[in-house]
A and B are shown apart, each in its own frame.
Chain A
Amino acid sequence: MIPPRVLIKTYLSPLIGMTAYFMQRVTGLLLLFYLLLHVHTVHEISGGPLAFNHAMDAFKNPLFRLLEIGLLGIVILHALNGIRIMVIDFGVATRHQKRLFWGLAVVIGALIFIAGALPLFMHSVWER
């Protein structure tokens, strides 16, 4: 009933800590799921050169590359917000938790993401 615009503004400003919490949980679960896939993949590729090459060909698919870049983003968000949580837990900067989120998790996160994703993106998605 409450207009979405009002709720979005609420969860981006006074209640940003709640948004960060949701994000931490969602990214955590996604990463746990990814770990499942990853262990399975390592099993696959360790079956000898043929299995390895077969898997590597599948990974050249642009969709996989995009998902991998997405994974990078999720890892960065979870890790930097995790650092922010540790800073808050030390009792150092509870007053600054919103600034910590936007500065640390988002701005620095975006910089690291671009640094990591750009090489991946440029080489893989455009070439066949």
Chain B
Amino acid sequence: MSRNAFAWYMQRITGALLVPLLIAHFWVEHFMSATLMRGDLTYDVILSRISNPWWQAIDISFLLIALYHGLNGLYGIILDFGKVGPRAATATLVLLFGVGVAWAIWGITAFHNL
């Protein structure tokens, strides 16, 4: 399949994956064991969860999938302006890829203090 077909397909795959990931994330953060409203969401609760490598893996996957979906979507918006020729389109792709990598590193290192 062409690169365009693959990107179109991946946008839908990542979108579909984000739905259960988001539901899980929202539920875990707001309703599961400890909540901000009940006053028992403390640093230790978060620390114990974040130190668990399984949660880290889920969170990092979540971030990478969301970044792909968001930046791919942004690329589509840019192409839709119809003002970028083939070379500018490739340059934009490289730029967005770079932004994505930097953002991913920034996100993954959020755990480094813990």
Contact = CB atoms under 8 A, between A and B. Distances in A.
A83 B19 contact: yes
A66 to B, nearest CB: 14
A42 interface: yes
A120 B30 contact: yes
A47 to B, nearest CB: 6
Contact of A47 (B31, B107, B113): B113
Contact of A123 (B37, B66, B106): B37
Contact of A79 (B22, B77, B111, B113): B22
B19 to A, nearest CB: 5
Contact of A39 (B15, B31, B106, B113): B106
| Size band of the interface chain B makes with A | 20 to 34
- Name the interface size band of chain A: 20 to 34
Contacts of B46: 45, 52
The 5 closest A-B pairs by CB, nearest first: A123-B37, A52-B43, A49-B43, A42-B110, A32-B70
Interface of A: 25, 28-29, 31-32, 35-36, 39, 42-43, 45-49, 52-53, 56, 59-60, 72, 75, 79, 82-83, 85-86, 89, 116, 119-120, 123-124, 127
25 contacts: A25-B73, A25-B77, A28-B70, A29-B77, A31-B70, A32-B73, A35-B103, A36-B103, A39-B107, A39-B110, A42-B110, A43-B110, A45-B46, A46-B112, A46-B113, A47-B113, A52-B46, A53-B42, A59-B36, A79-B19, A82-B19, A83-B19, A89-B12, A123-B37, A124-B37
